[in-house]
Structure 1
Amino acid sequence: MTDVRFSDDQARVLRWNTVLWAFLGLAPEVVAAQDDPPGTRVWSSGVPIALGLAYAAARRFPGRLPWFLWVLAAGIGVVAYFRDGAATLFVASLPMFWLHARSVRDPVWLSTVAVVAALAGDLLRGGDLRANAVVSVVGYGAGTVLALTVRRRLELADRRAERLGAELAGARSELAEAHRREGAAAERERMAREIHDTLAQGFASIVVLAEAARSDVRDAPDDASRQVATIERIARENLAEARVLVGSSPHATIASGSVTATLRRTLDRFAEDTGLAVDAELDEVDGDQTTRVALLRCTQESLANVRKHADASAVGVVLTRFPEHVELEVTDDGRGFAVEDARGFGLAGMRRRLAELGGDLTVTSSVGDGTRILAVLPLPEPLPPPEPPPASEPLPASDSSLEE
């Protein structure tokens, strides 16, 4: 038979009920039995004691507690047969029927059997049936109504708890799904931004260079050859960036440590490809991989906008390091544009990239007055220097050296 496991609250209720049953139901019967004649004293005091011992034994095997309840109902009738006042034991035993029964119907049947047994015992003994009947019936009715009410409320509370648990599980599932969708959308946006800032810019450069090489292939073969070489270089860089995006290779174009050298190479290639004058003032800036990538991508996007839209003759790039942040300023003397009318993906992508790192992007431009792009990016806090190892104590001289 399967054992019944009780929660801490249920076990606490059972302990208190056992104490009350013993002191209010069994103990008064045993004490009152001392005044009975010797012939009946053994039965009138022995039956309550036997019921207490039987309950203690049944508690060791919780699956047998329902059988004990029938023994208790019969025992109440035996006590009523030997002495008056068994109604007290019956009333004190009512909670036992409700706490240990297997179903809602069992306590009703057990209580009915117990009250009938008590009345039958009184009737056979020839006692005051009227007084005991009133106490037993009133106790039976009040206890049954109260127990049914409490049990009904507990069942409603359990159903409500189950419903709330199901709703909570559903909410957690929906939240997890929302987080998954949000993560997928963020990853798609990140990939789109990376493709726009790397592969798309490279392909745009290849198209421009290919068009120039096609027009120069007859009249200026040397220029066409240089342009083809540049196309090959950009194609290889795009291939490397594609491998980075699919996760099969680390960043080959972004060296660890200072980002200045990487930016300088990018500016030199831009000047070589476009023929524009580039004035660069670059401080040495050390940062983690995320900071270096953000600065490089902002520079590449700004230069790509100059190449495609500005029609400029000169570009200025200033990288300034401050104690807690770094500023990247890119200016050109091109045609400019109305900032409020800008709808391109590049500026929005730069702004989101910097915002994810706690930075900011400011675009200043007007038609005919060139453009100024200022990217501000906080620097990560440097790691504290490692603590020096504790100084080692000199080793004591060995016994052999002392002897020498």
Structure 2
Amino acid sequence: MSTIHWTENRTRQSARWHSENAAPLPRRIVVADDRMNADDAHRQACEGTALLWQGDFHNARQLLQAMGRRLDRKPAKSGLSPSENFHLHRRSSRHRARVLGKLLVLLEDDYRLTLRRAPDVRQACLEAYGPSGGPMAVSLRELLGVIGAHQWRLKGVAVPALGTRIHPHYGVFAPVRGEYVDLVARTSLPRAIRRNPASSTAFDLGTGTGVLAAVLAHRGVKRVVATDISPRALACARENAHRLALTGRIEVSGPGLFPEGRADLIVCNPPWLPARPAGSIEQGVYDPDSTMLRSFLDGLSAHLLPGGEGWLVLSDLAEHLGLRTRQQLLDAIQAARLRVVDKIDTKPRHPRSMDTTDALHTARRAETTSLWRLTP
């Protein structure tokens, strides 16, 4: 944690600085309130000045939205390749996040937000950040994400394959795209599991919320070991296993990728886009240099029992964006001395695939999600 300083009523003030996206410490901070208009806020934020909000909470949200509209005015460029369009979109998104991240709020010792008409954010912040270590400044944009994540955690995400809900934690990828869950729920299990389910073992690598581990246990796999590199994901998976009364069937292990031992089935749903995440929140979407994908492929044979299978759940969105070719994926499979037994495809059903205003709409419309069945 770093410390920020500002002057308020001629008094020097300080607080810890926190940013999930690892945004740098603001160099200059001014106090802002309901008298500030969106044009001034946008200009100062673009110049690098952070605005510590001391006015009405709902006015702050409206100001943030108005600043966002000013950033969205720039027309999209035409004639770009899919790869160029993606990288331009990423640069624009990072710039947007930097500018909007300059509107700050101060959380007190117990995560109280003392702004007028502010909601009670103490439980949401405790879930996201852990015990408070004193007053802390965060961007309003991040805090709104924390509040939204708390609501997701309370109500959960419906998973038809389980007939119940999975409850995601802050910073853990929520299973809102049901097609990849359905692929794991409907694909025929390896013969070894079908013949002797009472002694069957499966690994779920990069488990996130634990949804795929729960699906495998729901399908009759006796023992499922779920792993992840994220402490938040490990805590989330354990909580969901407890909610579903599956703690006797699901063992959560990590941080790491492969657990010790071998399994009849190893499932991996790595981040689908080989690009660098802007922060820990994006690690469920972006896999730099396809590191997790390659680690799964390279380690699969050594962790499979005789007759076992590896299931790679992967979208071809990266191919449509020009970030990875199909041949590069096949070459990686071959280099790992693996054979493709089958590939089961499905089309996405999420709303963004039909959103024509999305900068990546053309690629999303053509996207296919596949379950690759692999054996040594």
The one of the two structures with greater contact order (alpha-carbon pairs below 8 A, sep at least 6) is 2
Same fold by TM-score greater than 0.5: no
Shorter-chain TM band: under 0.3
Pick the structure with more strand per residue.
Answer: 2
Select the structure of larger CA radius of gyration.
1
Instruction: Give the alignment's TM-score, normalised by structure 1.
Output: 0.21
